[in-house]
Chain A
Amino acid sequence: MTITSLNFFIFLILCVTVYYILPKSFQWVELLLFSLVFYYFAATPLTFGYVALSSFMAWGVTNGMERDRKKGAKASDMKAWKILMVISFIINICLWFRLKGRAFLSSTLWGINQIFPSVKTVELPEIVAALGMSYYTLQIISYTLDCYWENAKPQKNPLKLLLFSCFFPQMITGPISRYDQLQSLYEKHSCSYKNLAHGVQRILWGLFKKIVIAEKCGVIVDAIWADFTLYRGAYIWIAFLLYPIQLYSDFSGCMDIVIGVAELFDIKLVENFKNPFFSQTSQEFWQRWHITLGTWAKDYILYPVLKSKGLQSLNKKLKQKCGKKAAKIITTALGMAVLWFVLGVWHGAFKHIIGVSLWYWIILMLEDIFKPYSEKINKKFGFKTDEFGWKFFRAARTYLTYSFGIVFFRAKDVPQAFRFLKELFLSFTKSRWNPWVLFDGSILNLGITYKELNVIFIAILALLAVGVLREKYGYARNWLDTQPVLFRRTIYLALLFAVVILGAYGPGYQSSAFIYGQF
């Protein structure tokens, strides 16, 4: 059962109806039961044992710590609990690695084998991973650490903690919520027109992004990637520039559906995207793209690593030898290397470490190093960085940087990514020069009709317009809510018809899985 399927929406209507009929004190129990049902239909039921094990371990450790704290135990008396906490993390990570890390191990060995043929590759049998494992594992770790650091109060009811880990809308692609951000799970909620309307709006917008934009862009991108020895020159640029839009529409579309579903229950989930393609720098981009993973990695990996005794003493030594600025750059680079390596492993493939992680590590470090110089240059030459043209140039530069990095994300493996990049750079050579394919109808050979091409164009303009409104009003609906009823209804109906009529359907058609669902 995928969250774009008819079965899911029948399940959802049933769940929302029962939720508001039941006495309010049972609402969280109903959500837990329906999450179990969702698990049963969307994954192997037995794998639910993994999420239950992780939750109950965290419950035991955090409540044990709290009990001793209340008895007046000092930090030095809590060592046993600290060891148990670390053991619970190791078990969680081992479970994740057993189920999800196999692909990473296989692909890493394969990648090393390409460079050093003496290293043997290993084919590991596939194991069905627990649904949402990469997401709930991070949630459980952050909950445990927050309780250990006294940033959160432990949940006394183990079943309520289980609901925090397995709340069904977030099981596909997150967001990775913190415990204090999901307290509304346990509150009593009344049915209101506003929540239902906002939830439905958000779901429709998510479906529009997924079914109309991502699926249709995917047809073009997939066709070119399937054989880029046949599709060369301008085709390569089409795939290169369109894939970020496909990925964004797919992933953020899923997030819109997930957030909209939660809103139907009057539960507010944390946002995972904030107009990433409006970013002026790559650093800003990662504060707007997959926000919950970025902030998780910053709080629980980067900061502890940078504050660790080892890195701090290195920082002191470097300050004496190379000066303050160089010491700061080197220690930050080391902390960031750990962060990007972990993120690469989390994404589960060697190509992520070689491509996306390594690429962004270099880009972010360069940005950090050159930031003071670029500011000086701007001041010296009097560049007005607030002007639209300048902002557009910087956003385009950030977009191109991102497009380059995710070639590795889209590619089957590292050699394929390099072959693609080679084609990209050779596309201006005489043998590959073919810009006319953009205008002579050749694109229609990629499995898309002229009508669909127009739909993509208009849909991307709509995406841009909503992005502009979001930048200005926080949410596009903050603006929409101020408009006349007739106008609002027209927009909703247009969205509904766009999803129903323009979406990728038809006999034998099955909506492809969400790209980030694989993690």
Chain B
Amino acid sequence: MTREEVYERLNQVVREVLDDEDIELHDETVADDVEGWDSFEHINIIVAVEEEFGFKFPMGKTIKMKNVGEMVDLILESGK
């Protein structure tokens, strides 16, 4: 799976959770940059991403992820 493919699926997941078709994520995107990505929605996004990619984020990463780029790195690592 390439980084671009991950972003394509990740954008779709986050758009669906937050109900916003205009969302476009990048490596440097943080929760504050995306309207509606608050602490309630954070866990819904994490769980939806886990379901989409079929793996579990470690709890430590759930509470402390620097940005979307780090999330994508973890997804790619899980696929190795």
Contacts and interface: CB of A to CB of B under 8 A. Distances in A.
A149 interface: yes
A151 B43 contact: no
Interface stretch (B1-9, B22-30, B59-67, B68-76): B59-67
Contacts of A283: 38
A300 B64 CA distance: 11
Interface in B19-42: 19, 38-40, 42
Interface of A is mostly: helix
B13 interface: no
B47 A312 contact: yes
A68 interface: no
A43 B39 CA distance: 37
Contacts of B39: 298, 302
Given A151-B64, A283-B38, A298-B39, A304 B59 contact: yes
B34 to A, nearest CB: 15
B64 A307 contact: no
Contact of B40 (A150, A304, A332): A332
A299 interface: yes
Contacts of B61: 149
A146 B64 CA distance: 10
Given A283-B38, A298-B39, A303 B62 contact: yes
A325 to B, nearest CB: 9
B54 interface: no
Residue of A150, A300, A307, A335 contacting most chain B CB atoms (<10 Å): A307
B16 to A, nearest CB: 9
B74 to A, nearest CB: 13
Interface string A45-72: 0000000000000000000000000000
Contact of B63 (A148, A303, A332, A368): A303
Contact of B59 (A303, A328, A372): A303
B47 A151 contact: no
Contacts of A328: 44
B71 to A, nearest CB: 15
A307 B46 contact: yes
B38 A307 contact: no
A306 interface: yes
Residue of A149, A150, A312, A368 contacting most chain B CB atoms (<10 Å): A149
B48 to A, nearest CB: 10
Contacts of A315: 47
B60 A151 contact: yes
17 contacts: A146-B60, A148-B60, A149-B58, A150-B58, A150-B60, A151-B63, A151-B64, A298-B39, A300-B63, A302-B39, A303-B59, A303-B63, A304-B59, A307-B46, A315-B47, A328-B44, A335-B43
The 6 closest A-B pairs by CB, nearest first: A149-B60, A299-B63, A306-B43, A151-B60, A151-B64, A298-B39
